[in-house]
Amino acid sequence: MIPFELARPRSLEEAIALLDPEDPDIRPMGGGTAVMLMMKAGVLRPTRLVSLCDVEPQYAQIRVGASGELHIGGLTRLATLEHSPLVKKGWPLLSRTLRTLSNVRVRNVATIGGNLGHADPHMDMPPVLTSLGASVTITGPRGERTVPVEELCTGYYETVLDRDELISEVIVPPQAGRPAAYMKVTTRAAHDWPALGVAVVLDMKGPQIGSASVIVGAATDRPTRLTQAEALLRGASPDDTALLRDAGEAGAAQLDIVGDPHGSASYKKQLLKVYLGRAVRTAIAAADGRAAPFEGHA
């Protein structure tokens, strides 16, 4: 391994000062789970890693704000989020999703900021947070800015972050009992990387779907909103199986799906046709307190 400097700043401000907007070999590190894999693979050869593990504890806290929104510090461990009673009660979609994200060893060290900053299109949290309308606070030398999670990823491992900016917080609007589900389709173990991920959040108008937020992951170079499927679902009954099939078809037709080691493009297309409807039915079942038959590994 090529020697590198490991910096351990005590504050976010100091961490930002140790980053360099011009130097791609100086990188922040949250849990380091992705950084270490990239270093082992030889795709990252840092000259300096800026560890965020000693910065102020306020950046690893979870709280509910005045309007009922969830504030997750950017350095919060995924396991802390998974087990948070606040999250389990108000944002069950997040806790349920985290249970099948990798394994407990990774969740114990990985941070939500590192998760979103990594921008691997196969990741589970970006589609889920996008479907809930979440945004990130980005902190850098020029202050703070807010960006919807939907606009964070710009391509494979690419984000809108400048090299001297950090994700310091994730803000999630109230789930407010809305039916929601994330279908993670894996070809091996339940906690494996998804061949496809479909996140659905529904706003119900009585028994009808008032509006739907449908985001797919692991299909293209970034999480993508299925606008045509959303249009079909508006005003529909979740029991209308023909309509759900049409929505799946529309979603598959909208995307130029990319194949990868987890599945070919045609396989993923077929998965999307089937799993979009399953996600809607699972969301309704979960909100009714019934067993969510399909959620998670399939």
Ligand X SMILES: Cc1cc2nc3c(=O)[nH]c(=O)nc-3n(C[C@H](O)[C@H](O)[C@H](O)COP(=O)(O)OP(=O)(O)OC[C@H]3O[C@@H](n4cnc5c(N)ncnc54)[C@H](O)[C@@H]3O)c2cc1C
Binding site for ligand X (CB under 6 A): 27-35, 37, 52, 74, 101-102, 106, 110-111, 113-115, 117-118, 123-125, 161, 166-167, 191-193
CB of 114 to ligand X, least distance (A): 2
Backbone torsions φ then ψ of 212, nearest 5 degrees: -135, 145
- Nearest distance from C-beta of residue 217 to ligand X, angstroms: 8
Tell me the closest approach of the beta carbon of residue 115 to ligand X, in angstroms: 3
Cβ at position 163, least distance to ligand X in Å: 9
Taking the least distance from each CB to ligand X, the nearer of 131 and 228 is 131
Question: Alpha carbon 199 to chain centroid distance?
Answer: 10
Of the pair 47, 208, the CB lying nearest ligand X is at: 47
Residue nearest to ligand X (CB): 114
CB of residue 1 vs ligand X: minimum separation in angstroms?
Answer: 16
Q: Which residues of 230-242 are buried (b: 16+ CB within 10 A; e: fewer)?
A: bebbeebebebee
**Cβ–Cβ < 8 Å for 158, 88:** no
C-alpha dist (Å) from residue 118 to 38, 87, 271:
11, 23, 25
Give, to the nearest 10 degrees, the angle between helix 265-287 and helix 241-254.
Answer: 140
Report the residue number, 262 or 281, with the smaller CB distance to ligand X: 262
Place of tokens 């130029």: 256
Residue 4: CB minimum distance to ligand X, A = 13
- By beta-carbon proximity to ligand X, the closer residue of 128 and 252 is 128
Distance CA 213, CA 199 (A): 8
In single-letter form, the type of residue at position 58 comes to Q
- Continuous segment of H or E residues that includes residue 213: strand 208-217
Q: How many CB atoms lie within 10 A of CB 214?
A: 28
CB 75 within 8 A of CB 136: no
Alpha-carbon torsion, ordered 275, 276, 277, 281, to 10 deg: 90
Query: Which CB atom, from 55 or from 233, has the smaller least distance to ligand X?
Result: 55
Question: Which phi and psi (to 5°) does residue 141 adopt?
Answer: -65, -20
CB of 228 to ligand X, least distance (A): 26
CB nearer ligand X, residue 168 or residue 228 = 168
CB of 193 to ligand X, least distance (A): 5
Q: Closer to ligand X by CB, 123 or 232: give it.
A: 123
Nearer to ligand X, 218 or 274 (CB): 218
Name, in order, each residue with C-beta under 8 angstroms of 167's C-beta and a sequence gap of 6 or more: 74, 112, 113, 116, 117, 136, 137, 138, 161
